[in-house]
Structure 1
């Protein structure tokens, strides 16, 4: 074997990487992020975190202890401007500030966001605060989520759920089901906007139709997280 010479390329300082922590059971966020970030000039590095096959407050809370280990698996050669934690409901149970602290224990990142924090920021940016919530979750998960949004100034008095705890079924809820349910909830005259919750719920192809038919802003977990990460990445 011959040892051959090589040179090293310098990292582009303008192309700071972003990090994304994805649930082990999530089949949706990565393909949707590929669509939302199709024009990006910077890498997005992904790590997985153990998560339960069912979404309950207990399985969500368990992820808190696993966050540092998941963040530790992101490449460390360069610092991050932003890391996203891809779980809406767990963020409401653990708390956005605690999520950020746990990730920053092992990852050199300026800021950590999640769909709850991101959707709240997006709502403020749009100037809307009265949402209809569509989620796939069971009731025990819906309540802390609504409380957490309320603490961020977003009310969700109108809400509905598919009532499905099993992640493998959530990801296979049809586009038509999502559209029909969102249209029903969003038709309420008190509603200013609609939020489609859960990173594993397929919403990318549904948002435009819902928005056009209702004439109201439509946010989703993945859309909000992608928007907020892009915003934070450009301003850090």
Structure 2
């Protein structure tokens, strides 16, 4: 057999590498991200992380010991402009700095972000300090999330939750239910923006409807995370 000659593509000719760690139970973030990055010169590499079927503080905290191993499964030959950890509520429980440190233990990444860090960055970028929060979580999880926003100087006094712990049901909450909840909370004169929390909520097509109807910024976990990853990667 005669070996065939070949050339190698230089690294700087490749699309910008982006990493994403997705919960095992998440059915929403990947389809929404495929659309969010469709027009960018970027390549998205995904790893999964084991996660409980129900969202509880205990289950979210248990992911802390798994993040480094999940990041380790991303292709080693690449230097990532940014890696996103796709869980809003776990980031509130574990802490954004701890998440970033764990990812960097096993993955070569310039930046690490998550939906909570991204939402705070988006709010700061747009001068938002009083958010209406639409959440699917049980109350113990909501307490941690709202406290994380408060530490960043962002209030979530206008707040409502679907109170659903089961991830499979969260992924199936109808768009009109999300729109109705966001309209009810976001119409308050006491808020300057609306945040739809959870990467498993299907919010992509609801956001433009809500933004137009409310006349104020409306953003979700997936919207904020994709926005922040693009910003970090300079896309």
Q: Normalised by the shorter chain, which TM-score bucket?
A: over 0.9
Match of 2:36 in 1: 36
Aligned to 1:84: 84
Secondary structure class of the residue paired with 1:46: strand
1:234 matched residue in structure 2: 234
Q: d(CA) in 1 for partners of 2:232 and 2:87?
A: 18
Alpha-carbon distance between aligned partners in 2 of 1:8 and 1:95, rounded to the nearest angstrom:
40
Give 1:7 deviation, angstroms.
2.7
- Paired with 1:10 and 1:213, the residues of 2 have a C-alpha distance of 47
The aligned residue for residue 168 of structure 1 is: 168
**1:167-210: CA deviations, max 9, x gaps?**
00000000000000100011111011000000000000100111
Partner secondary structure for residue 194 of structure 1: strand
1:57-72 pair list within 5 angstroms: 57-72=57-72
Tell me if 1:220 matches 2:217: no
SS in 2 for 1:17: strand
Q: List 4+ stretches of structure 1 deviating above 4 A.
A: none
Distance 1:2 1:135 in 2: 61
TM-score (normalizing by structure 1):
0.96
User: Who is 1:187 aligned against?
Assistant: 187
CA displacement 1:41-75 (0-9 Å, x = unmatched): 12110000000000000000000000000000001
Residue 210 of structure 1: aligned partner: 210
- Describe the superposition over 1:123-177 as per-residue Cα deviations: whole angstroms up to 9, x where unpaired: 0110111000001000010000000011112110010000000000000000000
Q: Which runs of 5+ in 1 are unaligned?
A: none
Task: Note if contact 2:88-2:199 (Cα within 8 Å) is conserved in structure 1.
Answer: yes
Q: Which residue of 2 aligns with 1:54?
A: 54
* Corresponding position: 1:151 with 2:167: no
Q: Which residue of 2 aligns with 1:16?
A: 16
Unpaired runs of at least 5, structure 2: none
User: Is the 8 Å Cα contact of residues 16 and 41 (structure 2) preserved in structure 1?
Assistant: no
- Report the number of matched residues: 235
* 1:35 aligned counterpart, secondary structure: helix
Q: Aligned partners of 1:5 and 1:25: how far apart in 2?
A: 44
Q: How does 1:53-132 map to 2 (within 5 A)?
A: 53-132=53-132
Give me the whole-angstrom Cα distance separating, in 2, the residues matched to 1:170 and 1:9: 42
Give the structure-2-normalised TM-score: 0.97
> Would the aligned equivalents of 2:136 and 2:170 in 1 still touch at CA under 8 Å?
yes
CA distance in 2: counterparts of 1:42 and 1:11, whole angstroms: 13
What is the CA–CA distance in structure 1 between the aligned matches of 2:223 and 2:233, rounded to whole Å? 15
